[in-house]
Structure 1
Amino acid sequence: MTTSQAAITLLGSNIGAQVSGVDLSRELSGAEKAFVHQALIDHHVLFFRDQSLEPVDIKRFAEGFGPLAPHPRGGPDYPEVMPFRSKQEPDFILGTEWHTDGSYSEHPPLGSMLYFREAPEAGAELAYANMHAAFEALSPQMTVYLKALTATHDVSRSRFGSDRQVKTSWSHPLISSHAVTGRPLLYFNSVYTARIDGVPTPESRAIIGFLREHVANPYFSVRIKVEPGSLVLWDNRCTQHLALWNFAPGSLAGLRTQIESVTP
């Protein structure tokens, strides 16, 4: 699939595409913006290689999708863009369990971007899973059952959220739909989903155990090897992700930003 110089190469059968022919260090044309926006809707995760970007470029590109959230560790000139550096041990920037960012909030983020200035030659992979595909793989009987249920997502279940003074949690339907396409999806993740609402505790645990195993099905996912100059953009509304901490020695360093929900 191409438009002008921009082109799409599929990375997986259910999720992920590499975009080539687009220079993110400049203002994109209207046609390029439309192409990238549609590609994100179609493929849920977009991967750009060989980019040379500064915080101003990250901010400009990300703002084309929605408002950005300032981060406490953001830079002085661009607080929405957070520098990161990860060495031998995982940290808060790259989660090592399947999760959806901010699912514990009333309006979880629309998406996120990671730009890598440094990456080791071997390892350093990100994995993304398609929750539309996870929904479609449920049996009709399980789909009917889950459609009637909500689940509470709680930030305190995270090893970082447990240190927060304000505990944040929110309840969401287990079966939701994409804000743009209306396509149904499974909205669950093992990091933040604390309990299934309105059912006995043993039943809640059983459902969570089933869903944790279900969403980890490799047929729903794709793995992406990051390199210096790589940028990954994902639709947080219909995906889960994790970092594969499969490199040493070396480090990951770059920039991160989060795109806020446009839901009022």
Structure 2
Amino acid sequence: MRRSTAPPRVLTVAGSDSGGGAGIQADLKAMLALGVHGMSVLTAVTAQNSLGVQGAWELPVDAVRAQFRSVVDDIGVQAVKTGMLASAELVEAVAELLAGVGAPVVVDPVGVSKHGDPLLASSALDSVRHKLLPLATVATPNLDEVAQLTGVRVEVEADLRRAAGAVLDFGPRWVLIKGGHLRGEAVDLLSDGEEEHWLRAPRHDNRHTHGTGCTLASALAAQLARGERVPAAARAAKAYVTGAIERGFALGEGIGPVDHGWRWR
């Protein structure tokens, strides 16, 4: 028998969504859909469904460190994606681990859930700004997270450039500002302070968009693991998540998830 070659390996460091639409669950689904091997470091457990987050419990720092070392030291990674990190202590521990990883890092600075539930302690914001963002190959904040981290409020498309500059001041190599909350077409801005790439897609009339941010960041990490440069990786990730939003489906009584397997259906 011919031995199969392992696909590129991507590690997500994030929280669990018991409803399966966001967090670790969304990350691993997106990674599978895009042909990479997903691995996980669980940082927190949430009780979560289509209506919101009913509870959240962060894991001990030692448990997070042990998971990370277990995967990286034996299996290795071609990219890492971070999501919900919950507390300053966890942010700083993860930043310390990432400093020696030697692979692209996508930082999704998760602050609140789709329903407005807080997923990051306010006391952790400085750690995100000064410890985590400087390690990012690409940071992927949405407009609420931009305001939380920088104070810049984006009201119209022209504000995206100012938002990108404010996030880049904290040290990531690239930033992808997600403009999905703006009116009109779905437009994101990818910038490194010199190059700009405006990523545009039609806006789909579908309220079932739970997990959009996690999915985009994971798709971006998957493309980087496959050897794509950041602009090409971002375009491919945008195309994938646009299709997933279009096919998002109802679950429960609230906001359903995007469809990670839309290309197979």
**Is the TM-score greater than 0.5?**
no
Q: Name the structure with the higher helix share.
A: 2
TM-score in terms of structure 2 length: 0.31
Query: Considering only CA atoms, is the larger Rg found in Structure 1 or Structure 2?
Result: 1
Structure with larger RCO (C-alpha < 8 A, sep 6+)? 1
